[in-house]
Structure 1
Amino acid sequence: MFSYKVVLILSIVFAIFLVSEAKVYSPCEFAQAMKNQGVNDDLGTWTCIASHESNFNTQAINYDTGDYGILQISHLYWCSDSDTPGKECGITCQSLLGDDITEDIICAKKVFSETVAISGNGFTAWTTYSSCGGDQSSWIKECNL
């Protein structure tokens, strides 16, 4: 027999689940968002990386590595684990978990450009790039970009 407290707790948990449901982008939605933020080159590669990193899930968190959001931005260098924005992108890691991926893209562009300066290839900042090398235009061939 359930008590009213158990029912109340289950109701609250269910309500939190409904409110915190993540947006999962389609490949074309993701590529369009990248383009809207000024990314015009290698959209197929970016889309492949987002697919492999998060399955396009805006609330993806890798608890083993501390990577956040649709592009799995690392808390080690780029976003702050606290409530105070910080690190290289000047944001909190929690801000990378919303449906609006503008901050994710702005930070990813910074990660990319700083990695270019170090290694010559900005995509190497993402470990999943090894699965996304070469021509990745098939990811966006059906998109109206």
Structure 2
Amino acid sequence: MKLTLKYFLLLFVLWNGVEAKIFGRCEFVAKLRSLGIPGNQLATWTCIANFESHFDTKAVNSQTGDYGILQISEIYWCSNSNTPGKGCHATCSQFLNDDINDDVACARHVFDETQRWSGNGFTAWTTYDRYCKGNVDSFIANC
């Protein structure tokens, strides 16, 4: 039933003409800069977006329930209904459009909460340990 609800929600969002976008790497870096992401975090956020969604704002992982360019989890951070809720007080579908301001705001909240209890906010993303831990400056090179 839950999987059917996810597909219905995704179809509803797509059917209603939500504009989605695939960001270029440097375009994503520029957007993060404009949103005030600290310079020492830019490469890691960019690496995460690359491996989580390939910079696709409409990315949905139906197995894990992660949404958007930064793959925000429906388990803790967004509501899979029409009512905003969970940790980011948001609906998961709002992370599927070309405006990533809310995605980044929620991701920063996830980062801050995870930082408080683990000491490293990036560990909230499974791709971090495998692909984005260490020197990932190549993700912001020439941007």
Please say whether Structure 1 and Structure 2 have the same fold, judged by a TM-score greater than 0.5: yes
2:31 equivalent in structure 1: 33
Q: Does structure 1 conserve the Cα–Cα contact (< 8 Å) formed by 2:18 and 2:96?
A: no
1:141 Cα deviation from its structure 2 partner: 1.2
- Is 1:91 matched with 2:90? yes
Q: Does structure 1 conserve the Cα–Cα contact (< 8 Å) formed by 2:19 and 2:97?
A: no
SS in structure 1 of the partner of residue 104 of structure 2: helix
Count of matched residue positions in the alignment of Structure 1 and Structure 2 = 127
Q: 1:38-92 CA distances to partner (integer Å, 9 max, x unpaired)?
A: 1023101110000000000000000000000000000011011010111111110
Q: Where does the alignment leave 5 or more consecutive residues of structure 1 unmatched?
A: 1-15
- Is 1:132 matched with 2:136? no
* Identity among equivalent pairs (%): 54
Q: Which has the larger radius of gyration?
A: 1
Q: TM-score, normalised by structure 1?
A: 0.83
1:22 Cα deviation from its structure 2 partner: 3.0
- Is 1:77 matched with 2:81? no
Q: 1:77-134 CA distances to partner (integer Å, 9 max, x unpaired)?
A: 1011010111111110000001010000000000000000010000000000021111
Q: Distance in 2 between matches of 1:75 and 1:20?
A: 19
The alignment's C-alpha RMSD in Å is 1.4
Q: TM-score, normalised by structure 2?
A: 0.84
Q: Distance in 1 between matches of 2:55 and 2:77?
A: 20
SS in structure 2 of the partner of residue 80 of structure 1: coil
